[in-house]
Amino acid sequence: MSTPRLSLGPLQYYWPRARVTAFYEQMAQVPLDVIYLGETVCARRHELRAADWLALADDLASSGKQIVLSTQVLLESEADVKALRQLADNGRYLVEANDMGAVRLLQRRTSFVAGASLNVFNGESLRLLAGLGAMRWVVAPEIGAERLAAIQTERPAGVQTEVFAYGRLPLAYSARCFTARHFKLQKDVCEFRCIGFEDGLRLRTREGDPFLVLNGIQTQSDRVQNLIDELPSIQKIGVDMLRLTPQARHMCQIVHLYRGVLDGAICASQALIEMRELMPAERCNGFWHGKPGLLQQAA
């Protein structure tokens, strides 16, 4: 059982350009193995354009980390498809395909990462994608340990498995923008209001319980999935990589704590105590245990 490597998933939120740059300068310094870059949520967001993300990739590549460019999850217009082609043809960096359209542009030409939104639920789908060039696949968060273990037994040799270990869960995508809707704005004149919410816009039930987070066209869980104390089951089923998803504050400390636990320098229960102050919301791990995702089960 080898120790999983650590990746940083793509930034889900819309931050000002200077903040994005500063964030990744920090990330270059922390013990991550892989960094995923790019705008995966909304094509209207433009603080960084495709060329800027590529330039950022060049800057970060010198840190020795593997850089992967992530594609947009929901492709609606030809402009979206054009942007996808640019990414697929970048010629320098591995691409994470988050739509079958992306797979079509990458297949049999270059190896790629099969993103979680491709919905790989069984060995047959995994073999298909591996045959087309997938060198790694990201497990859909709703697939728990037991179901993943079954897929792992059918995994083709050489394909790495990456699990969403930390962050608010990406739960849904829509053509509608719920942040714009909140401000009674139309999507095409949204005034980019999502830039005002560094960790998304919190949605509560009518009795005040935090439930979901609105992030433009994406809906996230309010609770933060955190599998830091699940390492034994993660290693047992041969997971190669743990994905940490960016949050506005304390991301460096989160990475260090994961690294510390993976290296055996700190125990998971101690890391969890330290994380209490570092997480934007309560934690959950229900999906990993085959339960409703919002639950927190004993590891």
Partner 1 sequence: MINPQKVELVCPAGSLPALRAAVDNGADCVYVGFRDQTNARNFAGLNFDDRALSEGIRYAHAAAAQVFVALNTYPQSANWPKWTRAVDRAADLGVDAAIMADPGLMAYAARTHRQLRLHLSVQGSATNHEAINFYHEHFDIRRAVLPRVLAMPQIRHVIAHTPVQIEVFGFGGLCVMVEGRCALSAYATGVSPNSDGACSPAKAVRWEQTSRGMEVRLNNVLIDRFAQGERAGYPTLCKGRFDVDEKSYYAFEEPASLNALELLPELVRTGVRAIKIEGRQRSPAYVAEVTRIWRQALDGCLADLDGFQVQSAWMSALSRLSEGHSYTLGAYDRPWK
Q: Kindly report the CA angle at 148 between 146 and 154, in degrees rounded to 5?
A: 120
Residue of 172, 265, 267, 273 that binds partner 1 (CB under 8 A): 172
Nearest approach, Cβ of 284 to partner 1 (angstroms)? 9
Nearest approach, Cβ of 259 to partner 1 (angstroms)? 28
Report the half-sphere exposure of 53 (CA within 13 A, side-chain side): 26
Q: Does 141 bind partner 1 (CB under 8 A)?
A: yes
Give which of 159, 123, 119 is closest to 139, Cα–Cα. Answer: 119
Nearest approach, Cβ of 93 to partner 1 (angstroms)? 20
Residue of 28, 128, 195, 281 that binds partner 1 (CB under 8 A): 128
Q: Does 61 bind partner 1 (CB under 8 A)?
A: no
Q: Does 124 bind partner 1 (CB under 8 A)?
A: yes
Tell which positions 197-216 bind partner 1, by CB under 8 A.
201-209, 211-212, 214
Residues in contact with 167: Cβ distance below 8 Å, sequence separation at least 6, in sequence order: 9, 12, 224, 225, 243, 244, 245, 246, 247
Q: Cβ(159)–Cβ(139) under 8 Å?
A: no
As a whole number of angstroms, the distance between CA 245 and CA 6 comes to: 11
Q: What's the Cα-to-Cα distance from 183 to each of 191, 192, 235, 282, rounded to whole Å? A: 10, 11, 45, 27
Nearest approach, Cβ of 65 to partner 1 (angstroms)? 28
Written as six digits, the tokens of 106 are: 């990458």
Q: Does 129 bind partner 1 (CB under 8 A)?
A: yes
Tell which positions 95-114 bind partner 1, by CB under 8 A.
99-105, 107
Say how many residues touch partner 1, by CB under 8 A: 72
Question: Of 28 and 100, which CB lies nearer to partner 1 in the complex structure?
Answer: 100
Nearest approach, Cβ of 82 to partner 1 (angstroms)? 11
